[in-house]
């Protein structure tokens, strides 16, 4: 990595006011999730049901994928298979080229981010307009999303005002959210009307019926797909669920876990092309089938991308999403990223307190903190942590394994914390002590 997680999170923390409100904003969403969850008496049963449905589907994925393809084809949908990001991007480009489309509207899709679809299409002369408001803001700013549900959570409304002013000539300094939203709406309406096709992500794909389900709050996926005869849906192989009756389990969990809403404003089912239109579904692997074969990490494929683990994570809230350097940040990103490139992302499993809050809130019961811990072992085993850190850990392990040594070291530390000056701990070579204050050590006889 050219710039490490530590460097980037340090830079984010330097702007204290931003990191403070970022932390508070996400904790607010986490609390909304808690309130929404407490309104559902069977919440834990729902989580268990969702986890089981996903486990069942993933362990029979070959059959369900073929069922889905057959049902979709019977509905008149054209299904494309893509083994990696390049095949995914090429498939979409070929469809657009076949219709001479040079401008396309896209609703939020982490998969197209993962595959780098925007730059791929733009390099071939196709303009891509992201139509989710947060996505459009970061697109204009030239940045990737910093959160999977709230992509522009790191940006203030004053900055949005500046971005819109530069892009569209809105009033300088006017950061009224209603004014900015109306400006975005006017610009996006124009884009919807002047583009030639719509691309969406997929939240769920139903094997029984061959339909895809897209959940949004802004209705932008619906607007694009209804205006344009040509619609393209991009989905990972893990989005499948067996039956339509399974869907209710997930829609009850998804919005509550993501933003504390009872349900997303739009839950749209796309089953067949419009009369005279074309509907394409691109099904992407991009490393997922390999992960499915991994004993410890396969269950990360259950993820429904709600972002709850991200909102609750004390490290993410303080570090900001861009520090992770991966399409998906936070705890779930830290178990997905090393699987794609352990050398590049070996720091991420260590960007956690292992408090377990991520696993606690996960609506599909992924044991995220255990997987983070396991990835640390893999990283150490493959020599992907610094020599100094490995040596320190080996020494710590020896001390912790020997009660006599442990007591001796603890008593030395107590003495040191009581009598040595603070500068002994707080100096520029001790990164660990930065921002930390040590507790006052009391005498044994003190109250
Ligand atoms: S791992 Fe769980 S909590 Fe995190 S985004 Fe995925 S489904 Fe949501």
pLDDT single digits (tens) 301-359: 999 999 999 999 999 999 999 999 999 999 999 999 999 999 999 999 999 999 999 99
Confidence tier at 270 by pLDDT (50, 70, 90)? very high
Q: Stretch 150-172: mean pLDDT, rounded?
A: 96
The answer to whether residues 106 and 225 belong to one domain is: yes
- Please report whether residue 74 resides in a domain: yes
Last residue in a domain, options 257, 289, 321: 289
Per-residue pLDDT for 444 more than 70?
A: no
User: What's the pLDDT score for residue 446?
Assistant: 63
Residue 306 CA, closest ligand 1 atom number: 8
CA distances from 36 to 40, 71, 115, 253 (A): 7, 35, 33, 10
pTM exceeds 0.85 for this model: yes
The answer to whether residues 339 and 312 belong to one domain is: yes
Per-residue pLDDT for 430 more than 70?
A: yes
Last residue in a domain, options 353, 381, 409: 381
Give the range of the structural domain holding residue 368, as residue numbers without chain letter.
5-31+307-381
Last residue in a domain, options 338, 353, 381: 381
pLDDT tens-digit map of 362-415: 999 999 999 999 999 999 999 898 888 888 888 999 999 999 999 999 999 888
Per-residue pLDDT for 73 more than 90?
A: yes
The answer to whether residues 66 and 205 belong to one domain is: yes
Per-residue pLDDT for 445 more than 70?
A: no
The answer to whether residues 122 and 220 belong to one domain is: yes
Per-residue pLDDT for 1 more than 70?
A: no
Per-residue pLDDT for 79 more than 70?
A: yes
- CATH code, domain carrying 134: 3.40.50.10420
Radius of gyration of the chain (CA): 24
Confidence tier at 423 by pLDDT (50, 70, 90)? confident
- Give the number of domains in the chain: 3
- Please report whether residue 173 resides in a domain: no
The best mutation among 362, 365, 367 to test binding of ligand 1, ranked by most ligand atoms within 8 Å of the C-beta, falls on 362
The answer to whether residues 316 and 424 belong to one domain is: no
The answer to whether residues 16 and 135 belong to one domain is: no
- Side by side, the strands of the sheet bearing 240-241 are 240-241, 204-206, 211-216, 266-270
The answer to whether residues 47 and 23 belong to one domain is: no
User: What's the pLDDT score for residue 442?
Assistant: 72
Per-residue pLDDT for 431 more than 90?
A: no
- Token pair in block for residue 21: 């409100």
The answer to whether residues 97 and 221 belong to one domain is: yes
Q: Percent of the chain at pLDDT above 70?
A: 98
pLDDT tens-digit map of 165-209: 999 999 999 999 999 999 999 999 999 999 999 999 999 999 999
User: What's the pLDDT score for residue 2?
Assistant: 54
Residue of minimum CA distance from atom 2 in ligand 1: 362
Q: Stretch 3-30: mean pLDDT, rounded?
A: 93
The answer to whether residues 243 and 215 belong to one domain is: yes
The answer to whether residues 128 and 233 belong to one domain is: yes
- Please report whether residue 439 resides in a domain: no
Q: How far is the CA of 260 from the centre of ligand 1 (A)?
A: 14
Q: Is 306 in the pocket of ligand 1 (CB under 6 A)?
A: yes
- Please report whether residue 170 resides in a domain: no
User: What's the pLDDT score for residue 418?
Assistant: 82
| Sequence-ordered alpha helix ranges (H) in 284-402 | 288-292, 308-312, 314-319, 330-340, 342-345, 357-361, 368-381, 387-400
- Please report whether residue 184 resides in a domain: no
- Please report whether residue 86 resides in a domain: yes
The answer to whether residues 347 and 395 belong to one domain is: no
The best mutation among 36, 309, 359 to test binding of ligand 1, ranked by most ligand atoms within 8 Å of the C-beta, falls on 309
- Please report whether residue 206 resides in a domain: yes
The answer to whether residues 321 and 349 belong to one domain is: yes
Say how many Å lie between the first and final Cα of the chain, rounded.
50
- Please report whether residue 169 resides in a domain: no
User: What's the pLDDT score for residue 390?
Assistant: 84
Angle at 215 between CA 209 and CA 221, to 5 degrees: 95
Q: Is 321 in the pocket of ligand 1 (CB under 6 A)?
A: no
């Amino acid at each position: 990595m050219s710039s490490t997680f530590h460097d980037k999170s340090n830079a984010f923390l330097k702007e204290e006011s931003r990191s403070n409100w970022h932390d508070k904003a996400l904790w607010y969403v986490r609390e909304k999730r808690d309130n929404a969850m407490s309104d559902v008496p069977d919440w834990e049963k729902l989580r268990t049901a969702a986890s089981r449905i996903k486990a069942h589907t993933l362990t029979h994925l070959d059959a369900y994928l073929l069922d889905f393809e057959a049902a979709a084809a019977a509905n008149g949908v054209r299904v494309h298979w893509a083994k990696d990001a390049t095949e995914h991007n090429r498939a979409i480009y070929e469809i657009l080229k076949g219709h001479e489309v040079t401008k396309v509207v896209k609703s939020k899709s982490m998969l197209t981010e993962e595959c780098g679809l925007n730059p791929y299409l733009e390099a071939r002369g196709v303009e891509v307009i992201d139509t989710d408001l947060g996505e459009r803001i970061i697109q204009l700013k030239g940045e990737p999303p910093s959160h999977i549900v709230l992509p522009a959570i790191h940006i203030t409304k004053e900055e949005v005002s500046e971005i819109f002013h530069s892009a569209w000539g809105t009033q300088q300094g006017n950061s009224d959210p209603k004014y900015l939203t109306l400006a975005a709406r006017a610009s996006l309406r124009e884009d919807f009307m002047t583009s030639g096709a719509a691309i969406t992500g997929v939240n769920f794909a139903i094997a029984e019926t061959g339909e895809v389900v897209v959940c949004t709050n802004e209705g932008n996926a619906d607007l694009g797909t209804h205006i344009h005869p040509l619609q393209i849906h991009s989905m990972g192989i893990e989005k499948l669920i067996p039956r339509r009756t399974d869907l209710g389990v997930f829609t009850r969990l998804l919005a509550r876990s993501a933003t504390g809403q009872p349900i997303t404003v739009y839950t749209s089912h796309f089953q067949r092309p419009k009369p005279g239109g074309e509907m394409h579904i691109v099904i992407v692997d991009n490393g997922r089938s390999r992960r499915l074969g991994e004993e410890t990490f396969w269950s990360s494929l259950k993820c429904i991308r709600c972002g709850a683990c991200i909102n609750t994570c004390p490290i993410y809230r303080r570090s900001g999403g861009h520090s992770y350097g991966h399409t998906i940040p936070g705890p779930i990103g830290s178990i997905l990223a090393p699987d794609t490139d352990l050398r590049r992302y070996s720091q991420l499993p260590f960007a956690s307190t292992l408090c377990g809050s991520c696993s606690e809130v996960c609506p599909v019961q992924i044991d995220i903190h255990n997987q983070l811990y396991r990835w640390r072992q893999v990283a150490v085993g493959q020599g992907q942590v610094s020599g100094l850190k490995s040596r320190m850990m080996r020494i710590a392990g020896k001390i912790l394994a020997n009660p006599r040594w442990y007591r001796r070291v603890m008593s030395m530390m107590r003495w040191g914390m009581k009598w040595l000056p603070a500068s002994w701990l707080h100096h520029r070579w001790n990164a660990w002590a930065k921002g930390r204050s040590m507790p006052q050590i009391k005498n044994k006889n003190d109250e």
